[in-house]
């Protein structure tokens, strides 16, 4: 099928255009769920098959993107770890304790694009996606400035928090090289969410994979051939993220799949920034409270006796948890896209069914990963460092790591549902209560007062995550999806009306 310009229009795009004009939309999942000629179990079977195909077309490349990006950071940490235990502790503290701070801010604020672009695309409001992308990039670039100041003064901050001078100095050296990465995040996450809202994920996976190989080669040269140590490794990591940003933007400019959603730079991107900042801030707070939770627990571990071993063992487990977490984050992205698109298109039954399928799929995979991590508990630390002391400490934490992996099979997916529905502010309150009122105090109590050390701190992490997961399950089960469709329609219309008013003012 061709449009008036002679270009092809895929069927999903045509269906969404019909939705924008108010005509009924037909989709494979919606048709099956509405087919009363089928028995309940037959309808359930067909709907599950249809949704699994759609889900894995989204989730598989999304998982690849997050896994490869995580492997890029992990490979840098591994190179640093083989320089010595002090370098591993410094890179781990810098990467997990400081860099995750900026990552959480930027990824969280970028999820505003995920909500708005996903629902606008489902409703057929294509021209709005490019404006949202540009507004988000401007907001995130400005937010990167105070983050840069934190990076610059990270050493005295770490010393103030009680870290040793040697570890704080090594971490600061590593963090200085990550300053350019802050602004790469600011550009990358809006682009990534812009593409995901249109179910365009595979190109990002390919770009990230190629960049991983480049990062490994350049890091090896910087660390071993040129002797640039921690600073050289982190500078290469920053460069790698900028390669991803440039490549993805070139794809947007060149691909026919984005010609309806990217129509070029517009002055409208500089209007309505205050409203966009408020939504981005709510999104950022939601995710930051979550990512900082693990970060704070790692920082607390630096105050334990024998802090180097505690930090190294926790950092190894946190890195492995982060790797497994990337699988769930891939399903998080798929859940957000599916829910926001279906709500925007006016399909409450499809949105609700998608939530069930994506949650169960993520949970099953996470259980498998947890079993693998537990079975490899005595050897997995040797990928990061050769010390037997650290290996034994990691093995002791392995049962708690397995439980965390299983919990993370559900919690991130339900957070993706929250983003697709626009519930960021509510989830932020939940995170405050579960993580900071329960999790961190519990971990500190078990770790220090009861002298359980790193195991006590990790137990606190599980307590907070478990409570949050239960609350999100309860809220999701009670959701009225017809009301969520109406809210999505009102949100899309509200933002489109604002943009039309601003465009009229600019023309006058």
Q: Tens of pLDDT along 377-416?
A: 888 888 777 778 888 888 989 999 999 999 988 988 888 8
Please report whether residue 34 resides in a domain. no
Give the Cα-Cα-Cα angle 188, 91, 313 (nearest 5 degrees).
115
Q: How confident is the model at residue 498 (pLDDT cuts 50, 70, 90)?
A: low
Please report whether residue 275 resides in a domain. yes
pLDDT score for 459:
92
Report the chain's terminal Cα–Cα distance, integer Å.
38
Please report whether residue 411 resides in a domain. yes
Q: Tens of pLDDT along 246-295?
A: 999 999 999 898 888 898 888 877 877 777 777 777 777 777 777 677 76
Q: Containing domain of residue 73, as a range? A: 41-500
Cα distance between residue 228 and residue 334, in whole Å: 39
Per-residue pLDDT at 159 exceeds 70: yes
Q: Which of helix, strand or coil describes residue 506?
A: helix
pLDDT score for 302:
74
Please report whether residue 194 resides in a domain. yes
Please report whether residue 21 resides in a domain. no
| Residues near 361 by beta carbon (within 8 Å), at least 6 away in sequence | 52, 55, 56, 59, 331
Please report whether residue 202 resides in a domain. yes
Per-residue pLDDT at 7 exceeds 70: no
Nearest to 458 by CA among 270, 275, 264, 296: 296
Please report whether residue 2 resides in a domain. no
Give the Cα-Cα-Cα angle 77, 207, 335 (nearest 5 degrees).
90
Q: Tens of pLDDT along 71-117?
A: 888 788 888 877 777 777 778 777 766 777 788 788 878 777 777 78
Please state the domain count of the chain. 1
Please report whether residue 317 resides in a domain. yes
Q: How confident is the model at residue 506 (pLDDT cuts 50, 70, 90)?
A: low
Q: Tens of pLDDT along 355-364?
A: 999 999 999 9
Query: What percent of the chain is predicted at pLDDT more than 70?
Result: 91
Cα distance between residue 72 and residue 303, in whole Å: 29
């Amino acid at each position: 099928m061709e449009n008036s310009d002679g270009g092809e229009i895929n069927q999903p795009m045509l269906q969404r255009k019909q939705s924008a004009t108010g005509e009924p939309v037909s989709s494979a999942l919606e048709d099956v769920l509405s087919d009363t000629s089928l028995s309940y179990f037959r309808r359930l079977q067909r709907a599950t098959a249809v949704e699994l195909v759609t889900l894995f077309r989204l989730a598989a490349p999304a998982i690849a993107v997050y896994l490869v990006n995580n492997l890029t950071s992990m490979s840098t940490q591994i190179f640093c770890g083989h320089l010595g235990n002090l370098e591993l502790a410094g890179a781990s503290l810098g990467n997990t304790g400081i860099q995750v701070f900026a990552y959480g801010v930027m990824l969280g604020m970028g999820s505003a694009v995920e909500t708005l672009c996903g629902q606008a695309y489902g409703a057929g409001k294509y021209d709005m996606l490019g404006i949202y992308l540009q507004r988000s990039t401007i907001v995130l670039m400005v937010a990167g400035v105070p983050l840069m100041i934190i990076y610059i003064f990270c050493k005295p901050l770490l010393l103030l928090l009680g870290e040793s001078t040697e570890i704080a100095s090594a971490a600061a050296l590593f963090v200085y090289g990550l300053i350019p990465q802050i602004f790469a995040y600011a550009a990358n996450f809006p682009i990534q969410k812009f593409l995901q809202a249109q179910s365009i994920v595979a190109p990002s996976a390919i770009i990230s994979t190629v960049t991983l190989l480049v990062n490994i080669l350049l890091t090896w040269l910087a660390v071993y051939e040129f002797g640039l140590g921690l600073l050289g490794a982190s500078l290469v990591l920053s460069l790698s993220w900028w390669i991803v940003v440039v490549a993805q933007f070139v794809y947007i400019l060149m691909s026919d799949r984005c010609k309806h959603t990217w129509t070029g730079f517009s002055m409208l991107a500089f209007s309505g920034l205050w409203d966009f900042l408020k939504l981005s801030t709510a999104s950022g707070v939601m995710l930051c409270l979550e990512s900082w939770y693990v970060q704070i627990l790692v920082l607390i571990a630096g105050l334990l006796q024998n802090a180097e071993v505690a930090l190294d063992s926790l950092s190894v487990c946190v890195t492995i948890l982060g790797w497994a977490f990337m699988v769930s984050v891939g399903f998080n992205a798929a859940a957000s896209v599916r829910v926001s698109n279906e709500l925007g298109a006016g399909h409450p039954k499809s949105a609700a069914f998608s939530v069930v399928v994506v949650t169960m799929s993520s949970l099953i995979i996470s259980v498998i990963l947890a079993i693998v991590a537990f079975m490899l508990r005595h050897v997995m630390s040797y990928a990061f460092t050769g010390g037997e002391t650290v290996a034994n400490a990691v093995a002791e934490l392995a049962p708690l790591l397995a439980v965390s992996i299983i919990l993370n099979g559900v919690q991130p997916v339900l957070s993706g549902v929250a983003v697709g529905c626009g519930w960021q502010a509510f989830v932020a309150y939940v995170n405050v209560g579960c993580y900071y009122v329960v999790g961190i105090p519990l971990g500190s109590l078990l770790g220090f007062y009861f002298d359980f050390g790193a195991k006590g701190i990790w137990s606190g992490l599980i307590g907070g995550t478990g409570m949050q997961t239960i609350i999100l399950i309860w809220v999701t089960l009670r959701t009225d999806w017809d009301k969520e469709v109406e809210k999505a329609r009102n949100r899309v219309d509200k933002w489109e009306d604002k943009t039309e008013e601003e465009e009229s003012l600019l023309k006058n």
